Amino acid sequence: RKEVEQDPGPFNVPEGATVAFNCTYSNSASQSFFWYRQDCRKEPKLLMSVYSSGNEDGRFTAQLNRASQYISLLIRDSKLSDSATYLCVVSLPTNAGKSTFGDGTTLTVKP
């Protein structure tokens, strides 16, 4: 089983839709969780960290479910500019300096 797994998609949604991605991780000792965004032919950039209590940043909500070992990203009111690949990142406390990236979920928002 992969350390970090994501549904690759693609997810094709109309503008204004709500879309959610999940990411599962295999190691229960994982400590830190992030969502990164990567536009086509660009570098990954941090979208948001994922906190135990869940966190929200505008239209984006991230949640962590430790019992089931997954994190999620919810995007409300999708915009065309949300089209990108979303990468889930998981880190172990004992492996600082090595974050494991998921393979990414591709989102395309259409007019």
Partner 1 sequence: DTAVSQTPKYLVTQMGNDKSIKCEQNLGHDTMYWYKQDSKKFLKIMFSYNNKELIINETVPNRFSPKSPDKAHLNLHINSLELGDSAVYFCASSQEWHPNTEAFFGQGTRLTVV
Q: Pull the structure tokens for residue 75.
A: 């995007």
Stretch that binds partner 1, among 12-20, 63-71, 76-84, 88-96 (CB under 8 A): 88-96
Beta bridge partners, 75, equal: 19, 60
Among 11, 34, 35, 86, the residue binding partner 1 under the rule CB under 8 A is 34
Helix (H) or strand (E) holding 27: none
- 97 lies in the binding site for partner 1 (CB under 8 A): yes
Please tell me whether residue 111 binds partner 1 under the rule CB under 8 A. no
Binding interface with partner 1 (CB under 8 A): 31-32, 34, 42-46, 49, 85, 87, 91-93, 95-101, 103-104
